[in-house]
Amino acid sequence: MTPQTEPGGLAPPLMHLDQVAKSYSGHPALRGVSLDLGEGEVVGLLGPNGAGKSTLFQIASGIFAPDSGTVELFGVGYRGNSPAILSRLGIVFQARSLDIDITVRANLKFFGGLFGLFGHRLRDRIVAVAELMDITPLLDKQVRKLSGGNQRRAEIARALLSEPRVLLLDEPSTGLDAAARRNLTANIRRIVAATGLSVLWATHLVEEVAAADRIVLLIQGEVRTQGTPAELMARTGTADLTDAYIALTGAVSPARPPPGQ
């Protein structure tokens, strides 16, 4: 898998989507979405439920092919390159993926094997990702006995086993209370700072991506606008990213979690 160099000698973005469209039973889910993710960049994919965020993630992760448009990761498309792409891609979907009837360690061993990790290498990676996600004391606990927040941290640890360059997070805080959401967001930001990962983080909660390098606003399957948080606030004449979100989307109420949730 050899990425092509762009004109001027610049490396291509790690993820490049160009005019990606997808429909289900004649109903458009994505309408010509274009999005890039650069080296070491954190991009917040912000939009209400039903905006097409999960469909975009399924296409970006190679689960589905688009009806039209270009999808490239690490400079190449999925055709003929899927194993090499997926080995450098960490994915946390909205739906939980861990086996709740076995321990965190057993889950990590199983998924490590799928990533081609065995023996000392696998043991070392389990230790490393457990430390990164602060779940070392939980490794030998059954997943079903963990809180929702700790289950999510274990899932992110699983996604980091193969030392990916890009991490896709699809609504990672779904089902968590306010405290667990804050802790999870802080953990992810700490990991990004420590590893230099590039992250595409989909959410409908503005505060989760307030510190992102760039925000892409997805509404009804279309990119409404994008820019840094400061640019979006300047564009709308607001002093708060939530107020900018309301101004750009016409939302009636802020995209904030309910109190105590």
pLDDT at 22 over 70: yes
Classify residue 242: in a domain, yes or no. Answer: no
Q: What's the pLDDT band for 194 if we cut at 50, 70, 90?
A: confident
Mean pLDDT over 135-157 rounds to 95
Classify residue 231: in a domain, yes or no. Answer: no
How do residues 237-256 score in pLDDT, each as one tens digit?
Answer: 999 999 999 999 876 444 44
Per-residue model confidence (pLDDT) at position 11: 63
Q: Are 35 and 166 in contact (CB under 8 A)?
A: no
Q: 202 and 75 in one domain?
A: yes
β-bridge partners, 170: 202
Distance, in Å, from the CA atom of 200 to the CA atom of 36, rounded to the nearest integer, reads 10
Per-residue model confidence (pLDDT) at position 82: 94
Classify residue 41: in a domain, yes or no. Answer: yes
Strand order of the β-sheet with 15-24 is 27-37, 15-24, 68-73
Per-residue model confidence (pLDDT) at position 190: 87
- One-letter amino acid at 247 equals A
Q: 198 and 111 in one domain?
A: no
Domain stops at, among 134, 163, 192: 163
Phi, then psi, of 192 in degrees rounded to 5: -60, -45
Nearest CA among 2, 67, 56, 17 for reference residue 219:
56
Classify residue 246: in a domain, yes or no. Answer: no
245, with CB counted inside 10 A (0-12, 13-18, 19+), is buried
Radius of gyration of the chain (CA): 18
Percent of the chain with pLDDT over 70: 92
Domain stops at, among 121, 148, 163: 163
pLDDT at 108 over 50: yes
Q: 82 and 17 in one domain?
A: yes
Strand 68-73 to 15-24 pairing: antiparallel
**H or E segment to which residue 90 belongs:** strand 89-92
The total number of structural domains in the chain stands at 2
Domain membership of residue 136 as a residue range:
100-163
Indicate the range of 19-28, 107-116, 168-177 predicted with least confidence.
168-177
How do residues 195-236 score in pLDDT, each as one tens digit?
Answer: 889 999 999 999 999 999 999 999 999 999 999 999 999 999
Whole-structure pTM over 0.85, yes or no? yes
Classify residue 234: in a domain, yes or no. Answer: no
